[in-house]
Each structure stands twice: as C-alpha cells, then as structure tokens.
C-alpha cells in the first residue's frame, strides 16, 4: 500500500505502522496469541486474517448503527487502515453471561444469564496485570473523568445492543467482550479490534467455545473455531 511507514508500536497481537497521513495508522494483525497476562504464548495459524476480517465486518456494522469507530479501510488480509487515536488505558468489558474472571471472582455459576448486561472497567497496565477498577480509582489516577466514564459505559451498552443480536442470528451467543476506546479530534471513538480474541462466543447449538478460551484452556480445534467464526460473520 502507498504510504506504509515505519513501525510505531508492537503489541502482543498487533503491530502499528505509520500511514500516509499523520492522523492515520495501519494495524497489522499477527498470529501470535497470549493469555494470562502473556504467561502463556503460542500461535494460532491465520488468526490475524480472521481477526482483521471479523473486526472489519463488526466496525462497519457499528458505524451503520451510529457508533463511531477508528475503522477506515481493510488494506489486505492482515492490514487495516485506521484513524490514529490516543488510547484511553481502560479495558471496557461487557458481560451478558457469567464466565471467566467474573465466575471466579464472585463464585457465580458459569453460563448464568446476566440481565441487563453489566460493564466493568480494567486499568490497562501489564505490570499490574490489568486490575479491575471502579470509577473512583480511574478518577484518582487521572485516567478518565466521570463524564468520560459515563460515555464509555453508554457506548459499551450501545455496542452490545448491536452485536448481541448480530451474533445470535449467526447462532453464536455473545457471552462477553472487551472494548478499547481512543480519542480522535477530541471525540471518543471505538478502537482496537473486536474478534474471537476479545469476545467469548458460544455455539448456540452445542454450547462449545468458539474463541480464545480454546487456546487459554488447551481445548484443541482452535484454528477451526476461528475459521468458523469468520464463516458465520463474513460468509
């Protein structure tokens, strides 16, 4: 592509490159997989391609429904042109069903419905292991104002309102997911990715995991699950 510049940043699952314009970047999706704060590492063949295409589809859907995102254009199998944002260091998790850390922390039954959906904030900080935080903690650390947190929560619920039925129509239960937001020209917009790396998706027919839990828990058929999500979302 015209104008791909030097690498600006390398994360666990993506690399970020400069683009032709200073207010845009290129996200490159890798096959590298990590879990448990990078204690577990591996590769999921063609994960990058799946996550790029699934994210494209979901960002386009969200834009159609009035949610602003950083998505501009998919450039290739593994590259996406996006607006260059300043990431808010908060992982915004939305939960429709009890699973993962919520089940562990509160002793709740995995699979129980959460109605209405709940939103949690985690402070994005690898050294601290991304701790669960509340609004007061984020305000104390000058990470986000109460107004920004209110907006993050509202946007997260709106995204859930769009994505939950979209996945259900494709026979996948959207159990939970993680969003990241960024500031672009003084506006909060959805950034990062939405993919089987960042969502829990359960097959509605079998209850089987179709997401990164297969990697986290060594359940096998990881590549197959990612390809099936791609097929159902983009096919």
Binding residues vs ligand UDP (CB under 6 A): 91, 93, 99-102, 130, 176-178, 198-200, 212
Q: How far is the CB of 179 from ligand UDP (least distance, A)?
A: 9
3-state secondary structure of 227: helix
- Measured from the CB atom, the residue of 88 and 99 that comes closer to ligand UDP is 99
- Measured from the CB atom, the residue of 19 and 58 that comes closer to ligand UDP is 58
Work out the number of other CB atoms within 10 angstroms of the CB of residue 227.
18
Q: How far is the CB of 193 from ligand UDP (least distance, A)?
A: 9
Q: Which residue is nearest to ligand UDP (CB)?
A: 100
| Residue with tokens 């939950």, as numbered in its chain | 164
Cα-Cα-Cα-Cα torsion 103, 108, 111, 114, nearest 10 degrees, comes to: -100
- Measured from the CB atom, the residue of 79 and 197 that comes closer to ligand UDP is 197
- Measured from the CB atom, the residue of 51 and 82 that comes closer to ligand UDP is 51
Q: How far is the CB of 206 from ligand UDP (least distance, A)?
A: 19
E strand or H helix at 62: helix 47-64
Residues 6 or more apart whose CB falls under 8 angstroms from that of 219 comprise 209, 213
Reduced DSSP (H G I as helix, E B as strand, rest coil) percent helix, strand, coil of the chain, to 5: 30, 35, 35
Residues 6 or more apart whose CB falls under 8 angstroms from that of 84 comprise 19, 22, 23, 24, 25, 184
Q: How far is the CB of 23 from ligand UDP (least distance, A)?
A: 26
Q: How far is the CB of 203 from ligand UDP (least distance, A)?
A: 15
- Measured from the CB atom, the residue of 52 and 198 that comes closer to ligand UDP is 198
């Amino acid at each position: 592509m015209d104008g791909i510049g030097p690498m600006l940043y390398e994360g666990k699952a993506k690399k970020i490159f400069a683009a032709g314009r200073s207010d845009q970047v290129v996200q490159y999706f890798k096959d590298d997989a990590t879990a448990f704060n990078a204690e577990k590492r591996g590769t999921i063949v063609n994960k990058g391609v799946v996550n790029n295409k699934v994210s494209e589809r979901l960002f386009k859907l969200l834009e159609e429904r009035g949610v602003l995102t950083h998505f501009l254009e998919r450039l290739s199998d593994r590259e996406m042109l996006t607006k260059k944002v300043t990431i808010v260091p908060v992982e915004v998790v939305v939960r429709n069903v009890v699973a993962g850390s919520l089940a562990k922390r509160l002793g709740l039954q995995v699979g129980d419905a959460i109605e209405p959906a709940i939103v949690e904030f985690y402070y994005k900080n690898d050294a601290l292991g991304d701790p669960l935080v509340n609004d007061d903690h984020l305000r104390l650390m000058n990470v986000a104002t109460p107004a920004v947190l209110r907006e993050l929560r509202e946007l997260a619920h709106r995204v859930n309102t769009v994505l939950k039925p979209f996945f259900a129509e494709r026979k996948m239960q959207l159990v939970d997911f993680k969003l990241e937001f960024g500031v672009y020209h003084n506006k909060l917009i959805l950034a990062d990715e939405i993919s089987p790396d960042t969502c829990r998706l359960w097959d509605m027919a079998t209850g089987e995991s179709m997401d990164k839990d297969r990697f986290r828990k060594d359940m096998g058929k990881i590549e197959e699950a990612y390809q099936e999500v791609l097929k159902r979302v983009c096919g």
